[in-house]
Amino acid sequence: MKSLVIAEKPSVARDLCKAVGGKFAKHDEYFESDDYVITSAVGHIVELCMPEDYDKRDAFWRLANLPIIPEQFKLKPIEKTESKYKSIKKLMKRKDIETVVNACDAGREGELIFSYVYKLTKSKLPVKRLWMLSMTPAAIRKAFDELRDGEEMKNLADAAQSRSEADWLIGINCTRGVTKRLYGSRAGNVAGVGRVQTPTLAIVVERERLIESFKPRDYWRIVTDFGITNGSYQGVYQKPNFKKGDDEHNRIDRIWDEAEAKQVAADLEGNPVALVSEEKKKSRQAAQRLYDLTTLQREANNRFGFSARRTLQLAQSLYEKHKMITYPRTDSRALPEDYPDTVRSTLQNLESTLGEVATRPVSNNWVNPGDKRVFNNKQISDHFAIIPTADSAKKLNDDEAKIFDMISRRFVSIFYPSAEFAITTRVSEINRHNFKTEGKVLVSPGWLEVYGKSVTVAGVDDTLPALDEKDGEPAKAQVDGFELLAEETKPPPRYTEATLLSAMEGAGKLVEDDELADAMKEGGLGTPATRAQIIERLIAERYIERDHRALCPTPKAETLLDFLTCINAEALTKPELTGEWEYKLHKIEDGELDREAFVKEIIGMTEKIVDSIKNFQENDDDLLPSDLKSPIDGQPLFESMRAFKTKGDQKPEEGEKDTRFAIYKIIGNRKMDVAELRELLEKGKVGPIDNFRSKSGKPYSANLFLDPETRRVKFDFGNGDGDSGSADFSTMTPVAKCPRTGGDVFETPAAYVVRVMEGSKETTPIRVSRKILDREIPLDQMMKLLADGKTDLLDKFWSKRTKRPFDAYLTLQDSGQTKFEFPPRAAKKGAKKATKKAAKKATKKAD
């Protein structure tokens, strides 16, 4: 008789065959020896049934059908991997199989993958558990020698199943309920709600609201040029007796009072002499720890602009296709304590790609098995850190090579000594005013050598020339000049994928309850394997848009969060919900909480939220006053969740004037500014306005006008005919010929449009708004854009993100769309001197 071993992934199945030994015959879906049949899933291959699988009527989303709470949850194979499920089921029914060994990953999700397959097959075979934290052959053989009884894992399986069912209950019911309340029967509009994705979205929206409400404050900084025997340096004014308080914008170099700043500047007039003192100290910097997936995604986004999803794809390719790295979907940054020998062989193998720096830790005996930053079983959950394998190098594409290089250098560098720096802090005092300068010299590169860094030549810091005996005792410096810089505080930046991944990982810090925060400290919002997917889902559902590397919430996102607040379902927007679930799931794992009690509690929560969704009604008492006026009778409009409207929705009696009016805050998938709505209400029209969005997410510009008969807002794309998307060019006179296409250039109220006629067929390949980000585009610049593909440098565009004006060129793409091209940044103060110094060095070298 034989044991059927089910691994989570095909690669693990192959590793198990190599480790247990014996002769294995390879079949299409499994390997077989005298003692074992080893097969695998491909991750999740079984899922919970959908509502329509219980009742076909639930294929249609109806509020009346909610909440949907199955009496007993049913399972079904995932359609795209059903063949894999059928193969495992067939193996389970073989007469010669007497035991099933669960060899899925050691953790909650691995347990769920196996238990769902086992339940759906209705197998009665006894179960054993192969619990592996390391994939070395020795560790695998040891795990086979110490197989656990399947019953020992019951609590872990219960916790996994409870999490799965709870996510189903909240996700299915809240998504359907909120969608029907916000969008009714409008096709294509889905308001996805989930325990992880909704708090993640709330983090992004909260940051956006901070940016929108931010009010800049003026401050002044003073930068002074000092001259000594060996050269010149700059110092920055430091406020005396500075103490950092609750004001996050307060800094030791920021002066908040202009008169005070000018008084300090006045004391610098006449080129006075400064007394100079300095302090030297040594600093050590250890190498960064090994990568987990989130850290790898974060750094790849910062360095190369890769999305979290793209980084995961590249890492999966390196793992599955090339077999050059270990399993990437991990939240651990440590290695198993039995891994030193594997580490040494891997380092030797990396010599072919990194050179001698890779083998130095082995030759110098720097691989220390007792280093708990590297080898630590307590810091390993389902998987260990991402490192290279000892497999030979394969041919990689450019992006794969970048990720492999990151992983390889991080792996090699952690076994190197710390880098050592000499830090000099210099204070130049003038009339009791202190100006600070810092210099940093690399004395010993240590692990930085893996990244190509070497000791600064002769230990000299080019940015901070050394004091000389000629400067006196105490040393003195001459003030060569100074600059009083007027600046203002800036709002917090929008999230990038890198910073959002950090926020998701550290979401437990936002939870006030210590027990809940402690339950989240290992995971945060989502897992390393799911965070990229969550971000992509938010983008796919049009809650978030990418603006270069920034992630911007859409009006749809704000509408969802406002609605959840209105129905008192804010718990769905906060990480505390995940913290509470994790706390209770850990209790289920420890046998301290019954799984049925947890699911019953989630059912109660679901019923309560659905009831709030169904019964939500905004009353007049809930409306907020505004300064907008109704265009019908001049009466004030009041702000509701989605619109500015008159009070009272009652239809007037026959013969009475209907004075009901409402104007929505979001028009054309764009959140309207109150000033824009005010102009529309007072003048009956406004525009052209940028950044409306089509259903496909494509931006467009248009005028808006208020139809006096229907009292509805309509679009005007150029000829005043409301929702028509094209102008009637037969009634218009072209202003020029397009040098690019040979077509006619027309000037509509909203845009410049190039029309090309091919026989009787009319196309408009190029359309450029006449007003972009509050900046009028004159006709001569439009013609330059058509002729050269680029305008002159235009000023006074207004950034919706930073709330600041900026200068840019407009460029014309092959698609007919325009993009911004930014001029080079102005050199910072002091950069000119550095450039001159570099040029002088280059001249000497050439001579």
Alpha-carbon span 839 to 388, nearest angstrom? 42
Alpha-carbon span 204 to 460, nearest angstrom? 45
Percent of all residues in the chain with a pLDDT value above 90, rounded to a whole number: 52
Please write the tens of the pLDDT for every residue from 704-729: 888 877 788 888 765 444 344 456 67
Report how far apart, in Å, the C-alpha atoms of 639 and of each of 31, 684, 704 are.
Answer: 67, 20, 20
* pLDDT at 320 > cutoff 80: no
Q: Confidence class of residue 91 from pLDDT cuts 50, 70 and 90? A: very high
pLDDT at 803: 66
pLDDT at 833: 45
Q: Confidence class of residue 591 from pLDDT cuts 50, 70 and 90? A: very high
Residue with tokens 């565009």: 797
pLDDT at 725: 45
Angle at Cα 79 formed by Cα 73 and Cα 82, nearest 5°? 95
Q: Confidence class of residue 208 from pLDDT cuts 50, 70 and 90? A: very high
pLDDT at 299: 94
Q: Is 327 a catalytic residue?
A: yes
pLDDT at 373: 95
Q: Confidence class of residue 205 from pLDDT cuts 50, 70 and 90? A: very high
* pLDDT at 32 > cutoff 50: yes
Mean pLDDT of 275-284: 94
Q: Which of 335-344, 729-738, 750-759 has the highest mean pLDDT?
A: 335-344
pLDDT at 837: 42
Q: Confidence class of residue 509 from pLDDT cuts 50, 70 and 90? A: low
Residue 100 in contact with residue 94, Cβ under 8 Å?
no
Higher pLDDT, 460 or 678: 678
**Amino acid identity, position 242:** F
Q: Confidence class of residue 635 from pLDDT cuts 50, 70 and 90? A: confident
* pLDDT at 153 > cutoff 80: yes
Mean pLDDT of 685-712: 78
pLDDT at 107: 82
pLDDT at 185: 67
pLDDT at 846: 35
pLDDT at 300: 94
Please write the tens of the pLDDT for every residue from 357-416: 999 999 999 999 999 999 999 888 768 999 998 877 788 999 999 999 999 999 999 999
Mean pLDDT of 403-432: 95
Please write the tens of the pLDDT for every residue from 101-132: 999 988 888 899 999 999 999 999 999 999 88
Q: What is the DSSP letter of 255?
A: B
Q: Name the catalytic one among 327, 339, 416, 495.
A: 327
Sheet of 713-716: strand order equals 685-693, 699-706, 713-716
Alpha-carbon span 139 to 106, nearest angstrom? 13
Higher pLDDT, 485 or 691: 485
Report how far apart, in Å, the C-alpha atoms of 563 and of each of 191, 193, 559, 570, 612 are.
Answer: 11, 12, 6, 9, 11
pLDDT at 453: 84
251-256: long-range contacts at Cβ-Cβ below 8 A with a sequence spacing of 24 or more? 253/221, 253/436, 254/219, 254/220, 254/221, 255/219, 255/220, 255/221, 255/222, 256/217, 256/218, 256/219
Q: Confidence class of residue 810 from pLDDT cuts 50, 70 and 90? A: very high
Mean pLDDT of 575-589: 87
Residue of 407, 731, 168, 329 lying closest to 176 (CA atoms): 168
DSSP characters for 50-107? PHHHH-GGGGS--GGG-----SS--EEE-GGGHHHHHHHHHHHT-TTEEEEEEES-SS
Mean pLDDT of 671-685: 85
- Tell me what the pLDDT averaged over the chain comes to: 86
Report the b/e string of 126-156 with b at 16+ CB within 10 A: ebbbbbbbbbbeebbeebbeebeebeebebb
Please write the tens of the pLDDT for every residue from 61-90: 999 999 999 999 999 999 999 999 999 999
Q: Confidence class of residue 751 from pLDDT cuts 50, 70 and 90? A: confident
- Global pTM reads 0.77
Mean pLDDT of 486-511: 85
* pLDDT at 652 > cutoff 80: no
Alpha-carbon span 199 to 506, nearest angstrom? 13
Higher pLDDT, 521 or 34: 34
Sheet of 818-821: strand order equals 794-798, 805-812, 818-821
Alpha-carbon span 139 to 32, nearest angstrom? 21
**CA atoms 666, 670, 672, 673: torsion sign:** positive
Total residue count of the chain as it appears in this document: 847
Q: Confidence class of residue 801 from pLDDT cuts 50, 70 and 90? A: low
pLDDT at 106: 80
Write the CB contacts of 55 (distance below 8 Å, at least 6 apart in sequence): none
Please write the tens of the pLDDT for every residue from 753-774: 898 988 888 888 888 888 888 7
Mean pLDDT of 572-596: 89
Please measure the distance between the N-terminal and C-terminal CA atoms of the chain and give it in whole angstroms: 84
* pLDDT at 437 > cutoff 80: yes
